[in-house]
């Protein structure tokens, strides 16, 4: 899946999406929430993992919401609900099995408070960060809300690119993936 409609919205790279999905421990019929949808790449990856999962994605930027809808149409995905709004105040009153946090603005603690009543017991949360400060805030929320099995993985992906007849490995930003299981 390399033909994404991009615009100026951020997009999680394919390899990072796959690792994030594996950390979410998604089962058939899972309800997944993607906070900070960007282009919709993570939500679409999650939805394509199984037609039996239901994905809800929330994004506050109008341009990004339009990109998500265009990418959903392009990849012919039917098991995604798109919300134009801000987490947690515009999230539905539903229970989710797995939550992906790709962007939270400054609302990370409020999101974790909301998850206390909206994430299934032993459900998984996965958050991706680029900045050290974001990594620290996310880790503190996992600890504050007493998540178990906290896992921290930093991933550096380089892609081959032909330049002047040679293949050079061009590095992307390292991404820190933090996951944890809600206490049972």
Which residue's entry shows tokens 């994030």? 20
Backbone dihedral region for residue 76 (phi beyond 0: left; psi -120 to 50: alpha; all else: beta): left
Give residue-wise pLDDT tens across range 133-177. Answer: 999 999 999 999 999 999 999 999 999 999 999 999 999 899 999
Note whether residue 112 is domain-resident.
yes
Note whether residue 8 is domain-resident.
no
Note whether residue 22 is domain-resident.
yes
Note whether residue 123 is domain-resident.
yes
Note whether residue 5 is domain-resident.
no
Note whether residue 118 is domain-resident.
yes
pLDDT of 27 = 87
Which residue's entry shows tokens 């089962």? 27
Do 51 and 28 touch, CB atoms closer than 8 A?
no
Note whether residue 7 is domain-resident.
no
Residue 53 to residue 142: CA distance in whole angstroms: 25
Do 103 and 10 touch, CB atoms closer than 8 A?
yes
CATH code at position 82: 3.40.50.150
pLDDT of 6 = 81
pLDDT of 10 = 75
Which residue's entry shows tokens 């679409």? 44
pLDDT of 2 = 59
Q: Strand, coil or helix: what is 135?
A: helix
Domain count, the chain: 1
pLDDT of 57 = 98
Tokens of 176: 């820190």
Q: Tell me how long the chain is.
A: 184
Q: What's this model's pTM, rounded to 2 decimal places?
A: 0.92
pLDDT of 25 = 92
Mutual angle of helices 108-118 and 132-144, in 10-degree steps: 30
Residue 22 to residue 151: CA distance in whole angstroms: 12
Note whether residue 4 is domain-resident.
no
Task: Tell me if the bond preceding 181 is cis, omega within 30° of 0.
Answer: no
Q: With a cut of 70, list the residues of the chain below it in pLDDT.
A: 1-2
Enclosing domain of residue 93: 14-181
């Amino acid at each position: 899946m390399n033909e994404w409609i991009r615009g100026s919205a951020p997009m999680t790279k394919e390899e990072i999406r796959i690792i994030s999905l594996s950390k979410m421990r998604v089962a058939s019929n899972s309800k997944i929430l993607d906070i900070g949808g960007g282009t919709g790449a993570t939500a679409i990856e999650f939805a394509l993992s199984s037609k039996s999962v239901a994905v809800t994605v929330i994004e506050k930027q109008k341009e990004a919401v339009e990109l998500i809808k265009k990418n959903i149409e392009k990849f012919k995905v039917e098991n995604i609900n798109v919300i134009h709004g801000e987490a947690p105040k515009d999230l539905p009153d539903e229970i989710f099995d797995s939550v992906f946090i790709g962007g939270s603005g400054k609302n990370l603690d409020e999101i974790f408070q909301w998850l206390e009543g909206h994430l299934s017991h032993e459900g998984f949360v996965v958050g991706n960060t680029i900045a050290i400060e974001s990594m620290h805030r996310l880790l503190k929320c996992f600890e504050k809300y007493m998540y178990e099995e906290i896992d921290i993985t930093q991933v550096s992906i380089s892609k081959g690119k032909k330049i002047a007849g040679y293949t050079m490995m061009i590095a992307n930003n390292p991404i820190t993936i933090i996951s944890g299981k809600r206490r049972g």
